[in-house]
Amino acid sequence: MMFKAKSLLYIGMLLLMTGLIAFLYSHKRLIEVKVVKAKRGMIERTITGVSSGTVDPLRRVRLQALLPLRVKEVNFKEGDRVKKGDIIVKLDDSEVNIKLDLQKAALTGAGLKLREIEERHRLATQNYERFKKLFEEGVIPDSTFDEAGSQFTTTGKAYEIARNAVYEASLGVRLTAEELENTNIRATFDGLISFLDATPGEFPSYPGYTGLEGAALSQSTLSASETKPFCEIIDDSVLKVKVPFDEVDAMKIKPGQHTRITSDTAPGKVFGGEVAYVSPVVSKTLEQNRTVDVEVDIDKTEGDRLPVGASVDAEIILETKEGVLIVPTNTVIEKEGKRFVYVIEGDIIRKRGIKTGISNWEYTQIFDGLKEGERIITSLDVEGIEEGRRVTVRDGE
């Protein structure tokens, strides 16, 4: 009896240990995962520029003085908006005004002299015509007729010279008037002053010009020299950006495609844009791969605007689909040309083959292999994820 009792005790202890081992083993294989449900939503196929671009205005112009004159007035400051024709900087025009007065006086004198010579030539012409008739009738001698002809010729030449003098004097007035206008540095279009470096009483900078009184440059020297721009105006009515894209995407990009633009100057904000131009030439530098430059017009907004010169990133939207089945792209695994995800059926992991459509960094479209609402494992970095493993779902999913 004692032997039988001991045998039953040993058998019981063995069964208990076996059950304990089975219990511990089953719980050891239980892993904790995070999941997300397959859902319907919107997805976009996009491409991103290989590097940042810079915001540029529609156009810009740098203004410079054409005359070595002191600055007389500065009517605007950097950051001001101007209208076409506004005088931004006025140069000292006192000497040019004196020169213009002298030119006008010269023109007036040339005009008076022309009228005097014109009258003399008119009388000489009348005498010549009258003496010619009398000479032909034999009434006057040759000497008298020759004298009348000489006066006619002389006054005719004087008249032409006087006419040329008036023309030259009028050109002098026109040129000096243009010179006077050149003392007005005007805005060439409506825009914003992005740079202005002018101070009343100072001379603009000229190569080789010391700024000494009496050391004025000649007009011929001015026309050949490069003066230093001291004002820049930008037309920011339209903002644009040029961004390089990989050459493999060149054939996908078309004018009119919507673009998302982001910048560190406006964290968290997304600006809209539209492809305006795609370069037909693939460029290559030592620093980067072969790329195609794409110019994007940035949409006008009522609120914040990107500043000219800001560094931006551009993402072109190639295709958009609404109401399709999507899952996070980081849940899709590809091996040997096949794609699959890990789904949870009850508390067991199942490997599910899928067929996919368009995708981006965030989501991938599912054509086949999943149903809306099915749970897909997102924590693929958890050790032990494989077909048939039991799991618990974290965060109450």
What pTM was computed for the model? Answer: 0.64
pLDDT at 284: 74
**The residue to which tokens 């292999």 are assigned:** 369
AA identity, residue 132: K
Phi/psi region, residue 353 (left: phi>0; alpha: psi -120 to 50; beta: rest), is beta
12-25 pLDDT, tens digit per residue, is 677 666 665 555 45
User: Taking CA 165 as the corner, what is the angle to CA 162 and CA 168, rounded to the nearest 5 degrees?
Assistant: 155
User: Taking CA 371 as the corner, what is the angle to CA 39 and CA 34, rounded to the nearest 5 degrees?
Assistant: 60
pLDDT at 6: 59
Region of poorest pLDDT, from 42-56, 209-223, 334-348, 362-376: 209-223
Mean pLDDT of 322-339: 94
Q: What is the C-alpha to C-alpha distance for residues 346 and 70, in angstroms, rounded to an integer?
A: 87
Asked if residue 296 has pLDDT above 60, the reply is yes
pLDDT at 209: 42
pLDDT at 219: 39
Phi/psi region, residue 384 (left: phi>0; alpha: psi -120 to 50; beta: rest), is left
Q: What is the C-alpha to C-alpha distance for residues 64 and 222, in angstroms, rounded to an integer?
A: 12
- Cβ atoms 44, 316 nearer than 8 A: no
- The three-state secondary structure class of 355 is strand
Q: How confident is the model at residue 114 (pLDDT cuts 50, 70, 90)?
A: very high
**The residue to which tokens 């100072």 are assigned:** 202
Region of poorest pLDDT, from 65-74, 93-102, 157-166: 65-74
Q: Which residues contact 192 (CB under 8 A, 6 or more apart)?
A: 79, 80, 81, 82, 233, 234, 235, 236
**Would you state the structure tokens that stand for residue 30, as one six-digit string?**
């239980």
Instruction: Give backbone dihedrals phi and psi of 201, rounded to 5 degrees, phi first.
Output: 95, -15
Asked if residue 225 has pLDDT above 70, the reply is no
User: Taking CA 367 as the corner, what is the angle to CA 365 and CA 372, rounded to the nearest 5 degrees?
Assistant: 80
- What pairs with residue 44 in β-bridges? 320
Phi/psi region, residue 138 (left: phi>0; alpha: psi -120 to 50; beta: rest), is left
For residues 218 and 178, which has the higher predicted lDDT (pLDDT)? 178
CA atoms lying within 13 Å on the CB side of residue 95:
12
Asked if residue 237 has pLDDT above 70, the reply is yes
pLDDT at 214: 37
Mean pLDDT of 351-374: 93
Q: Among 4-13, 288-297, 346-355, which range has the highest average pLDDT?
A: 346-355
DSSP secondary structure letter of residue 80: -
Q: How confident is the model at residue 221 (pLDDT cuts 50, 70, 90)?
A: very low
- Cβ atoms 327, 38 nearer than 8 A: yes
Q: What is the C-alpha to C-alpha distance for residues 49 and 250, in angstroms, rounded to an integer?
A: 11
256-286 pLDDT, tens digit per residue, is 999 999 999 999 899 999 999 999 998 876 4
Mean pLDDT estimate for the chain? 86
Name the helix (H) or strand (E) containing 260: strand 258-263
What percentage of the chain carries pLDDT values higher than 70?
85
Asked if residue 208 has pLDDT above 70, the reply is no
DSSP secondary structure letter of residue 298: E
Report the 10 Å Cβ neighbour count for 39. 13
Asked if residue 217 has pLDDT above 90, the reply is no
Q: What is the C-alpha to C-alpha distance for residues 336 and 81, in angstroms, rounded to an integer?
A: 62
Asked if residue 80 has pLDDT above 90, the reply is yes
Asked if residue 215 has pLDDT above 50, the reply is no
- The three-state secondary structure class of 324 is strand
pLDDT at 19: 60
Asked if residue 124 has pLDDT above 60, the reply is yes
Q: What is the C-alpha to C-alpha distance for residues 205 and 228, in angstroms, rounded to an integer?
A: 6
Residue 304, classified by CB atoms within 10 Å of its CB into exposed (0-12), middle (13-18) or buried (19+), is exposed
Topology of 31-42+323-396 in CATH?
2.40.420
| Strand extents, DSSP E, 197-230 | none
**The residue to which tokens 């199942």 are assigned:** 350
- CATH code that applies to domain 47-57+236-321: 2.40.30.170
DSSP secondary structure letter of residue 193: E
